[in-house]
Amino acid sequence: MKPTPRKPATSAPAKLAKAPHFVRIIGGQWKRTRLAVADKPGLRPTPDRVRETLFNWLASLAGAGGGELPGWHCVDAFAGTGALGLEAASRGAGSVLLCEQDPALVAQLLTLKTKLAAEAVRVERGNGVTTIERAPVGSLHAVFLDPPFENTALYAPALRAAARALRPEGVVYLEAARRWSDDELSALGLIGFRYLKAGAVHAHLLQRAPDAAA
């Protein structure tokens, strides 16, 4: 009698635990602080290399030395992990509003605010576009916009609202899946100032167009 062939050992596809993923604050008082990146659809923290370049640009505009942004008023409209807004706060920004819709991410941001004793930081659950629209005209030094790439409908209204909220010397950071053209930006009251591409990320630093209506 032939032995019954043994079936190859198989197992149900087990869910492998993903190793914790973190990004780090690059400069300022919380330098090297790790920020956990949750496994959430559309959550895409700005790459370290891009953030480092961005904050070098911002520090140059601030003109304070040491990478500082003293007294800046900022909104991180699609905060996610909070990497952009917390980086600004770490570098001395006077006020930073972190806006996020996902309740779990909001809870994570509130925990971080407490851990860091980040008095300049305010966390709000809500719609990023609406948050920018509520900002007083000409009140912000920096607006950080990095919504999920697939939510393309958010970009134009967020950019238009940001242009209105900017101080004359203020800037918008835009992160997108493609490069925005001068004509597209001009129609929203903005002009390109700096740009870089890193992998799939197109990073833009924008300023108010000189003739933009307040």
- Are the C-beta atoms of residues 144 and 173 closer than 8 Å to each other? yes
Which pLDDT belongs to residue 19?
A: 37
Residue of 175, 177, 213 lying closest to 194 (CA atoms):
175
The 10s digit of each residue's pLDDT in 160-172 is 999 999 999 999 9
Report the C-alpha gap between 32 and 200 in whole angstroms. Answer: 25
The mean pLDDT of 52-72, rounded to a whole number, is 93
Confidence grade of residue 23 (pLDDT, cut at 50, 70, 90): confident
pLDDT more than 90, % of the chain: 74
Over the chain, what is the mean pLDDT? 88
Which pLDDT belongs to residue 44?
A: 64
The 10s digit of each residue's pLDDT in 111-159 is 999 999 999 999 999 999 999 999 999 999 999 999 988 899 999 999 9
Query: Looking at residue 38, what DSSP letter applies?
Result: -
Q: Which residue type does 55 have?
A: F
